[in-house]
Amino acid sequence: MVKRNPNMAKLQSGYLFPEIARRKNEFIKKNPNAKLVSLGIGDTTQPIKPHITKGLADEASRLGTKEGYSGYGAEQGLEELRDRIAEKLYNGAINGDEVFVSDGAKPDTARLQLLFGSNVSIAVQDPSYPVYVDSSVILGQAKGYNQKKSQFGGIEYMKCVPENNFFPDLEKTKKTDIIFFCNPNNPTGAAAARGQLKQLVEFARKNKSILVYDSAYSQFISDKSLPKSIYEIEGAEEVAIEISSFSKPIGFTGVRLGWTVIPNELEFEDGTKVNKDWNRIMTTLFNGASNIAQRGGLAALDKKGMKEMEQTVSYYLENAKVIMASMEKLGYEVYGGIHAPYIWVRVPGKTSWQAFEEFLGKANVVTIPGVGFGPSGEGFLRLSSLGNRQDVDEAVKRIERSLK
Ligand code: PL4
């Protein structure tokens, strides 16, 4: 018999999101007449807008013709798309050849871990998107789970709570090789100010760390003074990798399209360019993003497409307003929801899982327990605004009726 990968045994339980689905299905089994409404998993619900859909459809049609057919593409993505991402989303702060198009931010996170290998130490915001910690454990970067602290040994958890304005105390943060930083943050919805990001870049430079900056929600930033990309910060090109995604702003969660930026200036200790090794990883382990998806991405980044992107984002941010207003009316302490599609709600006197069960049992509304994102998420729930307006209205009605 083959020995099980011991790192798999270190993982705590199932991955958070399938665990939520499992509990939801268990509830439905016990309560077959219950009609659940979800403010849970951050999946998009609104149809892809027409101009972007046309970009997808036109390419699908071209593939059915002799002249238009194309097979495998460049593993790094269409040159045209790489250039357009650099121009439209980074205002030329980086070049197209530093952009690597992919099938999404989550698979890029996993491949980045392969790039770093198992001998690096990592820091994560606490709470944060669970993929950073879980992929680190799988790669063998972490030690065993400390039940008392609800943390893995060997991982630096950077506490991000209302009391520190959701920004870590960098003076108390241990030096690590890699720092994962998601901004705007999932799950708290907090968006860092320029000064805070300057401190973060400075911290990474001082410690010679690599900052992996996940900007999957950057298009939700509604305040022009807040940076949308880490490359708006001077010197970031020497320390930061940025991963990002078309999933949320244009509804490509199922289409699958994202990208990673690795600037030419970013080097490993021995002087090897990080993007040289990334190119090796991508050409070896990835066969290029779907040509249909990439044409959709190109359509999203022209004038009409950018307008459509704004409309989609506004729709979800309107949902967020509805959810926040309702939770505030009920007296909850509410965070996020302004620069991100997530609302972070304190549930006093309860654990996150107790609150999750209460919302599910009394209001038949699915949420995500904050503790699923890290120990500092205990006592919070995450509510997603990525649903249909009707469902959001129904969810808040039920919450107001049954949880006041
Ligand atoms: C459920 C900070 C959602 N099954 O779609 P991708 O791969 O380009 O982006 C995924 C992603 C990357 N970075 C951050 C994210 O929050 C997400 C998506 N997170 C959520 O509810 O937290 C979807 C989760 C999905 C998953 O595991 O990603």
**8-47+305-402 maps to CATH 3.90.1150.10:** yes
The tens digit of pLDDT for each residue in 263-307 reads: 999 999 999 999 999 999 999 999 999 999 999 999 999 999 999
Residue 404's pLDDT band (cuts 50, 70, 90): confident
Q: What is the pTM of this model?
A: 0.97
The tens digit of pLDDT for each residue in 301-347 reads: 999 999 999 999 999 999 999 999 999 999 999 999 999 999 999 99
Instruction: Give the DSSP H/E element, type plus range, for residue 212.
Output: strand 210-214
Q: Which CATH number fits domain 51-302: 3.40.1410.10, 3.40.30.10, 3.40.640.10, 2.60.40.10?
A: 3.40.640.10
pLDDT of 125 above 90: yes
Q: Return d(Cα 78, Cα 13) in angstroms, integer.
A: 39
Mean pLDDT value of segment 182-201 = 98
The tens digit of pLDDT for each residue in 148-162 reads: 898 999 999 999 999
Alpha carbons within 13 angstroms on the beta-carbon side of residue 180 total: 34
Q: For the chain, give every domain's residue range.
A: 8-47+305-402, 51-302
Q: Return d(Cα 135, Cα 336) in angstroms, integer.
A: 26
Residue 12's pLDDT band (cuts 50, 70, 90): confident
Distance 106 CA to ligand 1 centre (A): 6
Instruction: Tell me, using a 6 A CB cutoff, whether residue 244 lines ligand 1.
Output: no
Which is nearest to 110 in space by CA: 217, 238, 214, 225? 214
pLDDT of 255 above 90: yes
Averaged confidence pLDDT in the chain: 97
Residue 216's pLDDT band (cuts 50, 70, 90): very high
Instruction: Tell me, using a 6 A CB cutoff, whether residue 182 lines ligand 1.
Output: yes
Instruction: Tell me, using a 6 A CB cutoff, whether residue 297 lines ligand 1.
Output: no
Task: Using alpha carbons only, give the angle 110, 305, 92 rounded to the nearest 5 degrees.
Answer: 65
Residue 14's pLDDT band (cuts 50, 70, 90): confident
DSSP output for 339-353: SSSEEEEE-TTS-HH
Instruction: Tell me, using a 6 A CB cutoff, whether residue 130 lines ligand 1.
Output: no
pLDDT cut 70: percent of the chain above it = 100
Best mutation site among 217, 243, 247, 252 for ligand 1, i.e. most ligand atoms within 8 A of its Cβ?
247
pLDDT cut 90: percent of the chain above it = 95
The tens digit of pLDDT for each residue in 62-100 reads: 999 999 999 999 999 999 999 999 999 999 999 999 999
